Structures are given as structure tokens and as C-alpha cells.
Chains A and B, each alone.
Chain A
């Protein structure tokens, strides 16, 4: 038995430091009275007060949530149908289908953004929250399809056929056999779609209209023109929110198991 090298351990520690260092600095700077985020000038909460006084943020947040809920709902339906077809049938049509589902996953955001922009411009569709919604459904459904398809891999299709043989209609069999089995996969896919929609900046940037600012778009304009300290404060709140969501979903999973 050879003594194990310490090198992999050091690399892992270095990666974790690398991941958390910038976030820690942002936390500290959000309480720093210095306006441009330089040296420490004393503790303050003024950036947080300023953040809460900004009405545009709340408007952007509500736009973001409307799009996230809408695109999650539609992409769950389309993505689950796609996963079912890819699992159930092995035909030429499904080879094409498989490529169609995969490509949006590998294509860079900026290409999807510009192609959708050209599409809407060519059809003279006015850019609005609705065009953002259509675009988000397009990139979210592939992720849902992939997650649900992974869940399908262990599904025994004969249980579904047994339900049909025992007199269940197709719809009843879907509702009583398929959906309960796929439930965790659909929930995981939906959660992924929701977070991707919340997080998206590049595609939204291309297809957004003048009155359809989402939270990432607003953060970007603040980064360009606003006070960096206010963004620090916003970042801290979003980080805390993220940690709470992660904690709750972890607890929920433990209860289920």
C-alpha cells in the first residue's frame, strides 16, 4: 500500500477557496461605507436602505417571476412529452427528435439569443415579456426532457401495459402509473427550468422589449450605471435567499427519503 499523494487534497482546497473568496469580499463590501468599494471606511447599512427604496427592482422581480413560472409550466409539459417519446420509441423520427432536444443544450446562449431576435424581428413580433417567455420555454424544455428521460431509464414499461390490460384507460394509466413514478423527475426538471429562467441574462437581453426588464437585466444596467455598493447589498440578499432555498429543498428531500 502506497502512501497517498497530498496533491489532490491541496487542489481541492484551492478550488474551494477560489469559489468562495470573491463572494466573501462582496459580503464585506456591502457593509462598507466607502462609496466605490475601496478601503474600509466603517460599517453601514445605507446600501440596503437604498436597495429597498428602489421601486424598479420590485417591478423587475415580478416580471422575472411571471416568466419563470410561465416557462416552467409549459416546458414541463413539452419536456415530459419529449422524454416519453424518446424513451418509448426507437425510430428514425426519434433520432432527429433526440438531436433537436440536445442541440439547445450545447449551443451558446448568445447564438440562441441572436437567432430568436432575428426570428421575432423578421415576423415583426414586438419584443415584450411574451417574447422572453417563448424564448425561455425553448431553452428550458430540453433540460426538463433530459432530467425526465434520466428518470425513465429505470422505468419498467410493462407496469404501464399491465394497467392497460387490467382495464385502465390510457389516460387513467398515465395518471395513476406514469405520473406518480415520474413525479420526482418532473419536479427536479421543473426546479431546474425555474432556476435557469430566473438566472438567464444573455438570451433575455436579446429578446427583451423596452418595458420588459427582468431582474438580471436590471442588475446588468445597475452594474453599468448604478452604484456598485447597492449591487453588493443586492448580491448578499440573493446569496442568502439561495442558501435558504438550498437548505429547504435539502430538508424536503430528507423527509421524503
Chain B
């Protein structure tokens, strides 16, 4: 028996080592390097100083940063909320169609997102262009004044973040709704619930897991947005991602870029690691229960 266990252990190590080693070298070490680099000073030639210091961290008190960090957070929260609020009714609608129409509609939703990411953002730049059709239509309908600027503001960034990540919210919510037993809604009606009450108290709890997944997959990339504010945002709508890129490419101040990245990383890594560990244990317990 122990020889058997030992052989299994050897097999496990052999098959696990290559992927684990790869991720340790190219993911874990670089991530810790970012954190370590935040405690180094920058030399004026774009290199990294030798001594350890807290000056880089302290320089984050720079009055520009709190504004940008705050903007990053509220833009991410708001765009996540919009994505979720739009996905719930749409996921509900699609899940109630018959299977054939569901597949067609899903294809229509996914296909635009197989187009290159940059090109999709660029399409918005064309669409919101000051001399574009959309602007002219708004002016003709007297919705916008001729000098309104649709581009280069936080509104444009919000719209394009929603555009980019809406399918990531829609798909898990649809997947959860598709498994939902709609007879439960009928039951709620029979028991005297109104349409809204049944929706909020029966349907929403039923698709909870889908909503949680949707929040995670929209909120995290939204926090790390860089290309979207870079192209449609301008200086009025910069986010943390823009600052990281500017410190890296324009000033070549890698320690400073690292300090900003550390803030972003810690905000994401700690809660996700905790959640994943809990889920793994939960799954493990449920499988072992089933085996018994």
C-alpha cells in the first residue's frame, strides 16, 4: 500500500512540477518583484536605486493620486453596476426563449467580442467623434448643443468600459438563469406574490452565483483599465492604469510605477485568494461527503 501511495505521489509531483514551476518563475516572482521594487528609489537615468527606502511609497501622497484612485474606484463600481443591471433582465429574457433562439442570440452577443479589443475601442472613438453621425443626429434632435464634446471625459470612459465588459457579465448571469426553474416563479404568483416581488425574492436569489461571478469578472478588469481611458478618456478621465503606464514609459520611473501597481494588486489578490481557498475546501468537503 505505501509503495502504491509513494508511486502516486511521485506521479503527482512529476506532472505538477512543470506548470507550477512556470507560474512561480513567470508569475509569482515577478509579482513579488513589483512589491519589492516599490521600496526602492529611482535613479535619474531611469534605473533602479540600490538602497531600500520608503520615499517611493510616501510620494504616493502626491495630491494628484487620491483623485485618480477615487475616480478609478467609482468608475469601476458604476460600470459594474450598469453591467449587472442590464444583464439581469437580458439574461432572464434569453433564458426563457426556446433553445434554438437562445443559441442564435448568444452568438450575436459573443461575435462582436471576437473583434480585436483595440478596434472595438477605436470604433467608439469614431462613433463619438465630434464630426460623426451620432453627434450630428443628437444636435439635429436638439439633445446636445453643437459644442458638446462626447469624447475625452469620464462619461465616454464609462460607456466604453460597459461596452467592453458587458458580455462577461451577461454570460454567467444567463448561464445561471438558464438553470433556474421558472416554475418557481409561477408558484410564487400562485402564492400571491406580485411580479416584481417574485422577481426580487425568487429569481434573484436563484441566480445569485451568476451575479457574483459577473461582479468579479467586470469589476477587476475595470479597476485595471488602461487602454480605454487612454484612448477615449483624455487627461480629464485618467485612471490608475494610465499613471502606471506613464511612470513606466514616459518618466521611466519603475519604482514609482511599482508602488502604484502594488496598491492595485493588493486590492485584488487578498480577497480573491481568501475566496478561492474557501471554495476549494468547500468543494473538497462536498466530494468527500458524496464518496461516503
To the question of whether A and B form a pair in one complex, the answer is yes
CB of B73 closer than 8 Å to a CB of A: no
Give the distance in Å from the alpha carbon of A18 to the alpha carbon of B163 in the complex: 8
Q: Are B92 and A15 in contact (CB under 8 A)?
A: no
Give the distance in Å from the alpha carbon of A134 to the alpha carbon of B93 in the complex: 42
**How far apart are A179's CB and chain B's nearest CB, in angstroms?**
14
Contact among A39, A114, A137, A145 with B34 in the assembled complex (CB-CB below 8 Å):
A114
Contacts of B119 in A (CB 8 A): 26, 219, 231, 234-235, 238-239
Residue of B nearest to A90 (CB): B284
Q: Are B114 and A119 in contact (CB under 8 A)?
A: no
Q: Are B129 and A106 in contact (CB under 8 A)?
A: no
Give the distance in Å from the alpha carbon of A180 to the alpha carbon of B45 in the complex: 56
**How far apart are B166's CB and chain A's nearest CB, in angstroms?**
7
Q: Are A21 and B127 in contact (CB under 8 A)?
A: yes
Residue of A nearest to B281 (CB): A95
Q: Are B124 and A22 in contact (CB under 8 A)?
A: yes
CB of A99 closer than 8 Å to a CB of B: yes
Contacts of A7 in B (CB 8 A): 89
Q: Are B120 and A22 in contact (CB under 8 A)?
A: yes
Contacts of B33 in A (CB 8 A): 115, 118-119, 122
**How far apart are B260's CB and chain A's nearest CB, in angstroms?**
9
**How far apart are B285's CB and chain A's nearest CB, in angstroms?**
11
**How far apart are A252's CB and chain B's nearest CB, in angstroms?**
15
Give the distance in Å from the alpha carbon of A151 to the alpha carbon of B40 in the complex: 45
Residue of B nearest to A86 (CB): B16
CB of A89 closer than 8 Å to a CB of B: yes
**How far apart are B34's CB and chain A's nearest CB, in angstroms?**
5
Contact among B115, B126, B221, B223 with A238 in the assembled complex (CB-CB below 8 Å):
B115
8 A Cβ contacts from A123-155 to B:
134-135, 137-138, 141, 145
Contacts of B123 in A (CB 8 A): 22-23, 25-26, 235
Render B218-237 as a binary contact track against A, CB cut-off 8 A, 1 for contact. 00110111110001000000
Contacts of A110 in B (CB 8 A): 224, 226, 241, 244-245, 261, 264
Residue of A nearest to B31 (CB): A115
Q: Are A107 and B117 in contact (CB under 8 A)?
A: no
Q: Are A95 and B277 in contact (CB under 8 A)?
A: yes
CB of A246 closer than 8 Å to a CB of B: yes
Render B163-188 as a binary contact track against A, CB cut-off 8 A, 1 for contact. 10010001000000000000000100
Contacts of B94 in A (CB 8 A): 12
Q: Which of A43-51, A52-60, A76-84, A181-189 contacts B (4 or more CB under 8 A)?
A: A76-84
Contacts of A96 in B (CB 8 A): 20
**17 A-B residue pairs with CB within 8 Å:** A8-B93, A36-B131, A77-B18, A78-B18, A78-B19, A82-B20, A85-B15, A99-B277, A100-B27, A101-B19, A109-B224, A112-B30, A114-B258, A118-B254, A198-B116, A206-B248, A223-B231
List chain B positions with a Cβ less than 8 A from chain A: 8, 12-13, 15-16, 18-20, 22-24, 26-31, 33-34, 37, 48, 86, 89-90, 92-94, 96, 105, 107-109, 111-112, 114-120, 122-127, 129, 131-134, 136, 163, 166, 170, 186, 189, 195, 216, 220-221, 223-227, 231, 241, 244-245, 248, 254, 257-258, 261, 264-265, 268-269, 272-273, 276-277, 280-281, 284, 287
Question: With A37-B126, A215-B116 given, can you name 17 additional A-B contacts, CB distance below 8 Å?
Answer: A5-B195, A12-B94, A15-B170, A22-B123, A25-B134, A37-B132, A39-B136, A97-B16, A97-B19, A107-B268, A110-B226, A115-B261, A117-B254, A201-B227, A223-B125, A242-B111, A246-B107
